[in-house]
Amino acid sequence: MKDNKVQIFDTTLRDGEQVPGCKLDTQQKLEIAARLDTLGVDIIEAGFPVSSPGDFTSVSEIAKLVKNATVCGLTRAVQKDIEVAADALKHAVKPRIHTGIGTSDSHIKYKFNSSRDEVIERAKQAVAYAKNYVDDVEFYAEDAGRTDNAFLAKVCEEVIKSGATVLNIPDTTGYCLPSEYGEKIKYLKDNVRGIENVILSCHCHNDLGLATANSIAGVVNGARQIECTINGIGERAGNTALEEVVMILKQHPYLDLHTNINTQLLYDTSLMVREKMGMPVQPNKAIVGANAFAHSSGIHQDGVIKNRSTYEIINPEEVGVTESAIVLTARSGRAALAYRAKKIGYELTKVQLDKAYQTFLQFADRQKEVIDEDIHVIMKQINKIS
C-alpha cells in the first residue's frame, strides 16, 4: 500500500482548550467532538483526563460518543495519569493513550532536575505501562524541537521497543525553522531502528508563525500525522491550524499526500469553534478569515470578475464559503460596481454605469465600504438625473 495518507490528529479540545478564556463544558465539547468526527479527523485528542474531574468526564463522554475517529487522552509519564486516562477511554471504539516527557536539556535540567538516562527510563516505563491498557500508544518527546537529534533518536528507539505505535515530535516552543524541523524528521527516519513500524507525528506551535510551514516540512520528510487545531488556537501563539495544512496538501497534489478531511465543512467548523470558545478569528486568517476570499482593490476585482483563478488559488466553495466577496471601496473600479449592482438586480448600460460610478466614488470617499443599501441609493440618484 502506498504510504501517502496523512492522519489528522485534532487537539482543539486539549491543546486548544488550554487557552485562557476558551474553557468549554462537557456538552460543548461533545458538540465539537461530533463535528470533528463528521469532518473526518482521524484522531480526536479529547483532553487530559487526570487534570480535573471535568476533563475526565468530557473525555469519557466523548469516548462513548465518537464512532469513527480514534479518541485520545493525554498523560504525563506518570502511572496514575495513565490509569486515569485508560479509565476515561474505556468505552472508546478506538482508544489511544498519548504519554510522554520532556527530552530537551532545558526540560531535563529545569523541569525534572534529572538526567538523560533517567528520562529514557521514565519514557520506556510510561509506554510499557500504557500498553497494559491499550494497543495504540503515542509517545511525545516534549520540546523535541530543541532536543539534540542523536539523543532524540535514542529516546525514539527505546520507546518503539516498549511498544509505542506513534512518535510525536513536538516543536513545543515554536522555535524551529521549517528546514530544521524537516531535517529532524528525516534524521529520525534515517537513524531510528524500527521507525518503519511506527507513524511519526508533527506537533508544532506558532510562536514564530511557522507552525503550518513546519508541519508541512515534517510530512514532506516522512511524518504521516499532523497535530493541529481548528483556527490554530492553542497555547501562546497557537498550534498548527487544521484548515491550513489540509488545504495546503489538497492544493499541492504533486506532493502526493492526502487527508480524510471533508473540506467543505471547514468554514462551518471554524465558526462553531469561534462561537463556542468565544475566540474570534482575525479577518486575514488563511482559509477561514472574513477576508480570505474578499477582494477590494480594483485591479484584483477586475481580474476575479473575469476569471477567479487570477487572484484565487482556492475555490471558496471547497472550504464551505458560498462565494468570494467583491468589497466595494474607493479602490474599486467600474467592473466591480457593475458586478455588485447586477447581483442585486441592476443591469446597467455603459452610460448609466459611468454616472453611477461618479456617485459611487463620492460614497466611497466618505465611508470605508460601499454596501448594497448604498447601491440602491446610488441607483435612485442616477435615475433622478437621467
Binding site for ligand KIV (CB under 6 A): 15, 140, 142, 168, 170, 172, 203, 205
Shortest distance, position 88 Cβ to ligand KIV, whole Å: 17
Out of Zn ion, ligand KIV, none, which partner does residue 104 contact, by CB within 5 to 8 A per kind?
none
Cβ distance to Zn ion smaller for residue 15 or 42: 15
Cβ distance to ligand KIV smaller for residue 45 or 302: 45
Shortest distance, position 15 Cβ to Zn ion, whole Å: 4
Judge whether 128 and 161 are in contact, CB under 8 Å. no
Out of Zn ion, ligand KIV, none, which partner does residue 142 contact, by CB within 5 to 8 A per kind?
ligand KIV
Q: What is the DSSP string of 41-93?
A: -SEEEEE-GGG-HHHHHHHHHHHHH-SSSEEEEE--S-HHHHHHHHHHTTT-S
Cβ distance to ligand KIV smaller for residue 168 or 231: 168
- In the chain, what are the helix, strand and coil shares in percent, each to the nearest 5? 50, 15, 35
Q: How far from the centroid of its chain's Cα atoms is residue 78's Cα?
A: 28
Give yes or no for residue 15 binding Zn ion (CB under 5 A).
yes
Cα separation, 361 vs 353, in Å, equals 12
By CB under 5 A, which span of 14-22, 70-78, 88-96, 355-363 interacts with Zn ion? 14-22
Judge whether 298 and 332 are in contact, CB under 8 Å. yes
Shortest distance, position 51 Cβ to ligand KIV, whole Å: 12
Out of Zn ion, ligand KIV, none, which partner does residue 61 contact, by CB within 5 to 8 A per kind?
none
Cβ distance to ligand KIV smaller for residue 205 or 300: 205
By CB under 5 A, which span of 9-17, 60-68, 187-195, 285-293 interacts with Zn ion? 9-17
Cβ distance to ligand KIV smaller for residue 140 or 357: 140
Shortest distance, position 239 Cβ to Zn ion, whole Å: 6
What are the cell numbers at 275?
Answer: 462561537
Beta strands in 143-270 (DSSP E): 166-171, 199-204, 225-228
Shortest distance, position 247 Cβ to Zn ion, whole Å: 22
Cβ distance to ligand KIV smaller for residue 171 or 374: 171
Cβ distance to Zn ion smaller for residue 15 or 138: 15
Out of ligand KIV, Zn ion, none, which partner does residue 267 contact, by CB within 5 to 8 A per kind?
none
Cβ distance to Zn ion smaller for residue 18 or 260: 18
Out of ligand KIV, Zn ion, none, which partner does residue 140 contact, by CB within 5 to 8 A per kind?
ligand KIV
Q: How many angstroms separate the Cα of 146 from the Cα of each of 105, 142, 172, 185? A: 8, 9, 9, 13
Cα separation, 198 vs 184, in Å, equals 16
Shortest distance, position 235 Cβ to Zn ion, whole Å: 6
Length of the chain: 386
Shortest distance, position 242 Cβ to ligand KIV, whole Å: 15
Judge whether 300 and 294 are in contact, CB under 8 Å. no
In this structure, what are the phi and psi dihedrals at residue 220, rounded to the nearest 5 degrees?
-65, -30
**Helices (H) and strands (E) in the chain — how many of each?**
14, 10
By CB under 5 A, which span of 12-20, 33-41, 43-51, 213-221 interacts with Zn ion? 12-20
Cα separation, 7 vs 149, in Å, equals 24
Cell 472574513 -> residue: 290
